[in-house]
Amino acid sequence: MLLIPCPNCGPRDETEFHYGGQAHVPYPENPADLTDREWAEYLFYRDNTKGAFAERWQHSTGCRQWFNMLRDTVTYDIQAVYPMGQLRPATGTTAPTVTSPVSPEGAVK
């Protein structure tokens, strides 16, 4: 089971979380202008990375907040946790870095 460092609540069991798939997939700026191909890309195509993957999780039985996580899809190591809206951090760190915008006093140091 993954031990996920929630930025608000600290490390919790994976069973408390809901998986949200690939992070950083913006809603199309001009939806009316999209071709069928572009709609297909937005609706059905996601990266299926083998290695470091930026994904969204929600702490559904805790603070209920969404956040981003960088996780290796082969080793399942969690490399970084960072707020929604923040750009993906550089990879290569060994210990997970946790950034919290909400309640710094509750964050994992």
Partner 1 sequence: MTTEHLPEHPDFLWRNPDPKSSYDAVIVGGGGHGLATAYYLAKNHGMTNIAILEKGWLAGGNMARNTTIIRSNYLWDESAAIYEHALKLWEILPEELEYDFLFSQRGVMNLAHTLGDVRESVRRVGANKLNGVDAEWLDPQQVKELCPILNINDNIRYPVMGATYQPRAGIAKHDHVAWAFARKCDELGVDIIQNCEVTGFVKDGNKVVGVKTNRGTINTEKVGLCAAGHSSVLAEMAGFRLPIQSHPLQALVSELHEPVHPTVVMSNHVHVYVSQAHKGELVMGAGVDSYNGYGQRGSFHVIEHQMAAAVELFPIFARAHVLRTWGGIVDTTLDASPIVGTTPVENMFVNCGWGTGGFKGTPAAGLTFAHTIATGTPHKLNQPFALERFETGALIDEHGAAAVAH
Q: Which residues are near partner 1 by CB under 8 A?
A: 1-2, 13-15, 18-19, 21, 36-37, 39-41, 43-46, 48-50, 53, 55, 71, 73-76
Please write down the long-range contacts of 34-38, taking CB distance under 8 Å and 24 or more positions apart: none
Q: Is 41 left (phi over 0), alpha (psi -120 to 50) or beta?
A: alpha
Nearest distance in Å: CB 11, partner 1:
15
**For residue 50, what are the CA distances in angstroms to 22, 47, 72?**
13, 9, 8
Nearest distance in Å: CB 4, partner 1:
10
- Residue closer to partner 1 by CB (options 47, 102) is 47
- Kindly state the tokens that stand for 98: 């946790």
Nearest distance in Å: CB 47, partner 1:
8
